[in-house]
Amino acid sequence: MARKAAIIGGGVIGGGWAARFLLNGWDVAVFDPDPQAERKIGEVLANARAALPALSDVPMPAEGKLSFAGTITEAVEGAEYIQESVSERLDLKHRVFAQIQQSAPATLIGSSTSGFKPSELQEHAANPGTIFVAHPFNPVYLLPLAEVVPSPKNAVQDIERAKEILREIGMFPLHVRKEIDAHIADRFLEAVWREALWLVKDGVATTEEIDEAIRMGFGLRWGQMGLFETYRVAGGEAGMKHFMAQFGPCLQWPWTKLTDVPEFNDELVDLIAGQSDAQSGHHSIRELERIRDSNLIGFLRALKDRNWGAGKVLRDHDARRAVTFHDAAPTGAPLVMAQMQVLPGWIDYNGHMTESRYLFAASETSDAFLRLIGAGMDYVAAGHSYYTAETHIMHLGECKLGDRLTGTLQVLGADEKRLHVFIRIQRGDEVVASLEQMLLHVDMKANKTCAAAPEVLAKLDPITQAHKALPRPDAAGRFVGQRRA
């Protein structure tokens, strides 16, 4: 039975939470009195369906069921987790928490508030210990950060359980150890925002010029190293102490107006809005969201390839959801070695899986088999590996976005130095591609073939013997252009 999350408030943030839970296999019930809520969440969900799977290298779980509740009571019934994302009015949040706890007094309630402290949220609550801050960043379905802020009234085990739920849907719960107005990230952003308003008001820069300064320069560094690590590198070989000594004196200079606030009036609003319209008004908001998502996917996948920053969160999330294949007694059947899904990054201009991804699917299958026989990355690190010497691929069917694929492997033959395998990539019972491969065992330091380690052969030989009883695939031994018999 699917787990259930309740989302109270279906705006941009609530819709993002709904998409994040749904695409990670949770059922989601949304309550929002706005008559347009269903349409708005549908649009957010459409963007999320196109974006979030592109960050995954393992099959996404089956999407959960989305429902829209007529009351808060209906939404929270049976929910394991509740996320509140209503407007930033403390009195409204208190009323919402009271209604929730009439029906779900012991259920965890995370609040998306960007400014209120958890102790303020908990005032007058029937069970204050279940209410805490879980502040995300837009788009919630792509960006992993959630600032988790408890108060002394929250039990440690409840906060740990909330953090684990957030990890299970691919988020990075940053535990803020001390309650403070606006938590951590928004305090930092507010300082940048305040200074940006002064620069525009004083005619120093336009909104576009400020954005260019961020995205062409330090924003790229912050996206993968943050603030302090960036400045540590700026300090050169001497590190952070040198940076502080070199740039510390400028803290005394009147560079910024961070302790002063420009008058927030119609003139300032018109100035900022007018420049912003000139900068980006030729795009609709939905177009800008898709552009943003596409760019974020590129950044995040680059970080994922390097297992760094937010990319490490994505890798860890894949690892938690990946299907692992353990040692088993050899049987007279091809081994199921990989479960995959056709992701957005796998398809070409006509919506079909691109040619290189058939090879990738086969590689995932053979890599899993090598791990099974003890020739995985630890074996490679010790200096030995199986190198693919030949591959013959037959494309037998077209795959489309979302198709779930299985990779099976049959050993056609093996000796101390060679491994001859036949791989089938299947969609259900249909074989969409077959690949015949010859792999050679190599001493990587000497760069020549050698016998595999005895412990590898001890796992490989029983599988080879068991597979001798299997019918030889019709496609085995074929070459390009050969006619069918």
Please check whether residue 340 is in contact with residue 400, taking contact to mean a CB–CB distance below 8 angstroms. no
Separation of alpha carbons 453 and 282, rounded Å: 63
CA distance 140 to 134: 11
Neighbour-count burial of 198, counting CB atoms closer than 10 A to its CB (0-12 exposed, 13-18 middle, 19+ buried): middle
How many C-beta atoms surround the C-beta of residue 310 within 10 A? 19
- Integer Cα distance of 43 and 462 in angstroms: 53
DSSP string, 152-188: TTS-HHHHHHHHHHHHHTT-EEEE-SS--TTTTHHHH
210 is in an annotated binding site: no
Please tell me whether 11 is known to bind a ligand.
Answer: yes
Q: Which residues contact 434 (CB under 8 A, 6 or more apart)?
A: 393, 394, 396, 422, 423, 424, 425, 473, 475
Cβ distance 434 to 396 under 8 Å? yes
Cβ within 8 Å of residue 455, ≥6 positions away: 374
DSSP assignment letter at 190: H
Per the annotation, does 16 bind a ligand?
no
Residue 109 phi/psi, 5° resolution? -125, 110
Q: In what order do the strands lie in the sheet with 172-175?
A: 66-68, 27-31, 4-8, 81-84, 108-111, 131-136, 145-149, 172-175
Is 9 annotated as contributing to ligand binding? yes
Say whether 14 counts as a known binding-site residue: yes
d(CA 152, CA 179): 9
Residue 46 CA, distance from chain mean position: 16
Q: Which residue has the tokens 């990539």?
A: 425
Rounded alpha-carbon distances, angstroms, from residue 300 to 96, 139, 214: 35, 13, 18
Check whether 313 is labelled as a binding-site residue: no
Q: Known binding site: residues?
A: 9-14
Annotated binding site for NAD(+): 9-14
